[in-house]
């Protein structure tokens, strides 16, 4: 009887090595001076310069991309999904006031396609460059019999640092503060199970269908990458000009803003104070979805919320606009609890 090889069992070591070669230069472009290792080691070394901090606190976050991956697979377009993976992690640790330092990824595939892996990891590297963090390590697992060929899952892990005295924990939020909303790039990476159900199953839209109200095809709209807010917000955070941040992900504005408020305070949002992108109106209309369900599922055009002193709000908004953000004054902090739309 002929002996089996690992390749005949479904795992191609040579393809894995080729994938590593294809991503090396993209990964190297994310390096920071603190990184002490190159690609291919058993672990990534990062020399934290503690002299820059009085009491350095490490902040970690992990996330994936959810069922947005299905859209990428249907379109056979994999070069932006990695940006989403980085964004979901670094935006979360930014909310604590942390500067993202390094990132690790985990990619599981059914059959390893080096070009597909290079596209996915290339997106992760692009996201790391946008966030200013190093892609210090990762794992690509070929798992035949677990994922069908062509399918995959990806997750990310971000580590950042913040001085203990500068941690954003909501304790500086006061009644009367202004709530600024930073625009999203559409759906970002949340609500895709509902979006796909409405657009692709119930309405039967094709991903390559061009819709004038979107200004692009359905697939292009659904694959718009999650916006990374680190470079625009971090300087203001480090200057102590932000009282709290809320990353608007699953749960929407209604459930994410209260997570950063101290007891006894709530937020009033002003209806119509920011433009809601057409993709949300389309999903609401085609799915006959209640407005509260929309608000609890999607970001509705606001990807990050910043709570700031009312007297500083105009200057902070101008700083953010100069950094490339679209910013709207969407509400204020009030006595009470939760989020009310008025």
Rounded Cα gap, residues 44 and 47, in angstroms: 10
Q: Over the stretch 131-149, which tens digit does the pLDDT of each residue have?
A: 999 999 999 999 998 999 8
Helices (H), the chain: 13-28, 68-75, 81-94, 114-131, 192-196, 218-222, 230-238, 252-256, 278-287, 291-297, 313-322
Q: Over the stretch 3-19, which tens digit does the pLDDT of each residue have?
A: 777 787 788 888 888 88
The two beta strands, 302-308 and 244-247, are: antiparallel
Q: Over the stretch 17-61, which tens digit does the pLDDT of each residue have?
A: 888 888 888 889 999 999 998 887 788 999 999 888 999 999 999
3-state secondary structure 106-174: EEEECCCCHHHHHHHHHHHHHHHHHHCCEEEEEEEEECECCECCCCEEEEEEEEEEEEHHHCCCCCCCC
DSSP 8-state secondary structure symbol assigned to residue 165: G
Q: Over the stretch 171-196, which tens digit does the pLDDT of each residue have?
A: 999 999 999 999 999 999 999 999 99
The two beta strands, 210-211 and 216-217, are: antiparallel
CB 157 within 8 A of CB 33: no
- Assigned fold of 13-166: 60s Ribosomal Protein L30; Chain: A; (3.30.1330)
| Extents of the domains making up the chain | 13-166, 178-341
Q: Over the stretch 209-260, which tens digit does the pLDDT of each residue have?
A: 999 999 999 999 999 999 999 999 999 999 999 999 999 998 999 999 999 9
- The reply to whether domains 13-166 and 178-341 share a CATH topology is no
63 forms beta bridges with 156
The answer to whether the pTM exceeds 0.85 is yes
Task: Single out the residue of 95, 107, 105 nearest to residue 160, CA to CA.
Answer: 95
Looking at domain 178-341, its CATH superfamily turns out to be: PurM-like C-terminal domain (3.90.650.10)
- For the chain, the distance separating the N- and C-terminal CA atoms, rounded to the nearest angstrom, is 76
Q: Over the stretch 302-335, which tens digit does the pLDDT of each residue have?
A: 999 999 999 999 999 999 999 999 999 999 999 9
- Return the structure tokens found at 315: 């200057």
Q: Over the stretch 79-135, which tens digit does the pLDDT of each residue have?
A: 999 999 999 999 999 999 999 999 999 999 999 999 999 999 999 999 999 999 999
Rounded Cα gap, residues 106 and 157, in angstroms: 8
CB 283 within 8 A of CB 205: no
């Amino acid at each position: 009887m002929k002996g089996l090889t690992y390749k005949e069992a479904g795992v191609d070591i040579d393809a894995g090595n080729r994938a590593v070669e294809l991503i090396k230069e993209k990964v190297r472009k994310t390096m920071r001076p603190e990184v002490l290792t190159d690609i291919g080691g058993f672990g990534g070394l990062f020399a934290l310069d503690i002299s820059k901090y009085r009491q350095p606190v490490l902040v970690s976050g992990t996330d994936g991309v959810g069922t947005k991956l299905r859209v990428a697979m249907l379109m056979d377009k994999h070069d932006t999904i990695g940006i989403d993976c980085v964004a979901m992690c670094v935006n979360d640790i930014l909310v604590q006031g942390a500067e993202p330092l390094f990132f690790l990824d985990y990619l599981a595939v059914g059959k390893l396609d080096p070009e597909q892996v290079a596209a996915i990891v290339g997106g992760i590297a692009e996201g790391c460059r946008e966030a200013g963090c190093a892609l210090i390590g990762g794992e690509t697992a070929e798992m035949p019999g677990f994922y069908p060929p062509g399918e995959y899952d990806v997750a990310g892990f971000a580590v950042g640092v913040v001085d203990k005295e500068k941690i954003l924990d909501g304790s500086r939020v006061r009644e009367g503060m202004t709530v600024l909303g930073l625009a999203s790039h559409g759906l970002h990476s949340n609500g895709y199970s509902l979006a796909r159900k409405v657009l692709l199953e119930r309405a039967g839209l094709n991903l390559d269908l061009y819709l004038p109200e979107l200004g692009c095809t359905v697939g292009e709209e659904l694959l718009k990458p999650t916006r990374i807010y680190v470079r625009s917000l971090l300087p203001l955070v480090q200057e102590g000009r932000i009282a709290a941040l809320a990353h608007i992900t699953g749960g929407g504005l209604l459930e994410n803003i209260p997570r950063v408020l101290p007891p006894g305070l709530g937020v009033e949002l002003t209806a119509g104070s920011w433009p809601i992108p057409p993709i949300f109106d389309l999903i609401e209309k085609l799915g006959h979805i209640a407005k509260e369900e929309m608000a609890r599922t999607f970001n509705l055009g606001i990807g990050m919320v910043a709570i700031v002193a009312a007297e500083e709000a105009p200057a902070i908004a101008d700083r953010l606009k100069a950094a490339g953000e679209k910013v709207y004054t969407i509400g204020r902090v009030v006595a009470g609890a939760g989020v009310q739309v008025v």
